[in-house]
Amino acid sequence: MVAVRVPDLVSPAGRPLGEGDRSALVIAGTERIRSGDQVVFLKVVAVAPARVRRDGRVQAQGSPCEHATLGPLEEWLGQQAGPGLIDGIAERAILRPEFVKGARKRLLARAFVIRAIILMTLVPDADAREVIVALAGDLAMVPWARAWRPASPRAFGDWRAALGPQPLEELQDIVLRASHAGHEERDWRAVVIGRLKASSADGTLIRVPDTPANRAAFGSVGTGDDSSPFPQLRALPLTDASTRALLGMPHGPAVIHGLRS
């Protein structure tokens, strides 16, 4: 992990870099980089106040909980409903004291837990510790002044109980309102034919795990001898034409009446 003062990062072109300029920043005062020089390329992990120990060691104040985000997903949320959405909800959230007690510096924080709960919906097979580690990402490698370690599943469960459902319900309402406003802005109103809302349907094939039972039940298409890599089921998704919400999906074997398509 390399630490550099923010004011020491400058553009090598001698001018601010534009959106289309593909270049790394450099450290001011160093020798000019020439073609063929061996250069270490780094990405920014966190910008935090420095903590310098008596022996000269440089550490970062804070913890991953103060810097972790959901990346592109959170950028999209900011575009739809305004920047700092999750942090604002976290500031308004009131923790139930019977689950999280005391005001000391904790391993978890309200905004971090909200982000972790959202991330759990994207990686449903991961346990609480795996979600916390994934959310921290490269922030876990930063030499924090106070050593950071992932909270235990029990501690995370206590924080979820302390937050309750209100912060996530508030987030859901904000996102739904932003989505509705986007539909209105683009004139994506309900498509109605007579007294019925219009829907759309389209057939598709979905691969399923390659087990003898699945091959027997669903079969496969594309080969005459059922040697394709995966058995498949045939589905007919029915979606709302206005919102693209999935209304239903009848499904069955890929092989129909002993014929292969």
Q: What does the domain layout of the chain look like in residue ranges?
A: 1-44, 64-183, 192-253
pLDDT given for residue 186 in this prediction: 60
Q: How many CB atoms lie within 10 A of CB 25?
A: 14
pLDDT given for residue 193 in this prediction: 63
**Residues 242 and 197 sit within 8 Å (Cβ to Cβ):** yes
Residue 252 — φ and ψ, nearest 5°? Answer: -170, -165
Residues of the chain whose pLDDT is less than 70?
101-106, 182-197, 242-243, 256-261
90: its two tokens: 């976290």
pLDDT given for residue 258 in this prediction: 47
Q: Which of 58, 55, 36, 174 is nearest to 114 (CA)?
A: 174
**Residues 128 and 159 sit within 8 Å (Cβ to Cβ):** no
pLDDT given for residue 191 in this prediction: 61
